Amino acid sequence: MNAPTELQHTTVLLNEAIDALVTNPDGIYLDGTYGRGGHSRLLLARLSPKGRVVAIDRDVQAVAAASTGETRVSDPRFSIHHTSFAHMATTLAALGLGRVDGLLLDLGVSSPQIDDPERGFSFRFDGPLDMRMDTTCGESAADFLARADVRQLTEVIRDYGEERFALQVAKALVARRESGNPVRTTGQLSELVAGAVKTREAGQNPATRTFQALRIFVNAELAELEQGLTASLALLVQGGRLVVISFHSLEDRIVKTFIARESKSEFDRRAPFAEPKPQRMVAIARVKPGETELRANPRSRSAIMRVAERSDVGIDVGIGAGAAA
């Protein structure tokens, strides 16, 4: 199947995210996953002339789209930088900035990445099995498959893809490699997984979980998320908002756990008379796309947005019912 000639992206939970994020129109906001700029553009529209948006993305194509051509953002309040949100504190420091009034993370893969066969993210188009968000560094999925043993492959596919047939897929991958014909393309991987996964979920390609697992592993997505969330505690001003949109349960579980943990005061049982560690976050909301968005953009169906506010309150307010589910 041929890829579409124009690679476009529909931003998920666009208005909901910016509504939740902006508490100070004069503030500084960090878009940690620029993509194709949907959130950044609306954010700029909501800010005053004093406001500022710092955008980052680990994908050089996303940075190029914001910097050149018809899709560039020509606004003196905006700048974009090639890096991961795990290193956003370094970027802000280099710009002479300290804390920010809001931080947005829109996780997962953008439509231009999925729809470009050369990127190797999708089984819908045959292309090189790359899967790197940042194509300037790191190991491609094909290179990992060329060196990993059955145990390593099983762990990755099971832990990051939650694939019941991880062992069967791993054995098939190694057997094909040892035959002198290693998997190098998305089409080859999709075909191999289809033969190894015996039970298919309704409406889902049997390769879905394996592709997800390899992408998460190659890009160290869960570790990057953990680092970014931890960094947000030092970067957000008092009352600043953290907005995270996730697209699968592994990501959402990390975000949910982080907000829950930081929304509680902690007592040191070894020092019962000491002041408790202050609560550093307050959970605000958990939001999913509405029916209108789901009809217009089916890719939004798995999205969950969680919102929290930076707070150094020494009492335990817990998590509201809307944010706990």
**CATH code of the domain covering residue 164:** 1.10.150.170
- The answer to whether residue 204 is domain-embedded is yes
- pTM (whole model) above 0.85: yes
pLDDT of the residue at 200: 75
| Strands 236-246 and 304-313, bridge-based pairing | antiparallel
In a domain, 2, yes or no: no
Domain annotation covers residue 263: yes
181 shares its domain with 256: no
Name the β-bridge partners of 80. 55
Among 218, 247, 267, which residue terminates a domain? 218
Q: Is residue 48 classed as helix, strand or coil in its secondary structure?
A: coil
144-153 average pLDDT score: 98
Give me the mean pLDDT over the 101-124 stretch: 92
pLDDT at 76 over 90: yes
| Average pLDDT along the chain | 90
Residues 243 and 255 in one domain: yes
1 pLDDT above the threshold of 80: no
Question: What is residue 109's predicted lDDT score, i.e. its pLDDT?
Answer: 87
Q: Are residues 101 and 247 in the same domain?
A: yes
The answer, yes or no, to whether residue 323 has pLDDT greater than 60, is no
Task: Tell me what the mean pLDDT of segment 73-77 comes to.
Answer: 95
β-partners of residue 247 are none
The C-alpha atoms of residue 126 and residue 132 are separated, in whole angstroms, by 16
For residues 237 and 303, membership in a common domain is answered with yes
CA separation for the pair 106, 42 (Å, rounded): 14
Domain that holds residue 107: 14-111+221-324
Structure tokens at 71: 């899709």
Average pLDDT over residues 15-22: 97
Say whether pLDDT at 4 is over 70.
Answer: no
pLDDT for 198: 83
Task: For residues 108-135, give the mean pLDDT.
Answer: 92
* 22 and 77 fall within a common domain: yes
